[in-house]
Amino acid sequence: MKVALDTRKPPLQEWTVGAAPAMIRANEARLARHSAERASKNRTPQVLPFDRKRRGVAKRAKAFIDGHYREPIRMIDLCHETGLSIRTVQRCFRQYFGVTVTSYLKVVRLDAAHCDLVTANPSRDTVTRIALRNGCSHLGRFSSEFRERFGQLPHETLMIEPSAFGQQRG
């Protein structure tokens, strides 16, 4: 005896133009109520628009990175500097500067290494030493990111003749 299986798919609900926004508004209202309840229980402030305090958090984090980029920087260091949680620091930094903390740190380190390579003496300095001095510990990744940013490999930058930049090395 063979049993026939029903292979028909159930019909999809028709979405009308007003159905989705109404559903979204209902969810927003429910989430807002839930957030307000949790905020009152935990005594934590609700999310506010970007203000001076958050701008200050982003600027303090940037200043810390600019001053310590040669050292290993962990997110917990930025949290101690700003007095806020990891997620808050990341969100404020991204909203204010438009890049992530990690991306900014990478760019700062690559720019510093590029500056050092341009002014370095090829007979005395090495790419490895300059990369490590600027906080770049993974040399393969440093080389590929350097090439992506500046269009040439680090050792090519170190070997460029001084006349190409109009300055002397020494």
The reply to whether 107 and 159 lie within a common domain is yes
User: How many separate helices (H) and strands (E) can be counted in the chain?
Assistant: 8, 0
- pLDDT per residue as tens digits for the range 89-108: 999 999 999 999 999 999 99
Of 104, 84, 85, nearest to 94 by C-alpha is 104
Total domain count, the chain: 2
> Where in the sequence is the domain holding 86, given as residue range(s)?
55-98
Q: Write down the pTM of the prediction.
A: 0.64
pLDDT in tens, 38-71: 544 545 444 445 577 888 899 999 999 999 999 9
User: Are residues 155 and 111 part of one domain?
Assistant: yes
Report the C-alpha gap between 130 and 30 in whole angstroms.
55
Token representation of residue 55 = 């701008």
- Residue 159 inside a domain? The answer is yes
Rounded Cα gap, residues 169 and 51, in angstroms: 46
Give the separation between CA 109 and CA 135, rounded to whole angstroms: 7
CATH number of 160's domain: 1.10.10.60
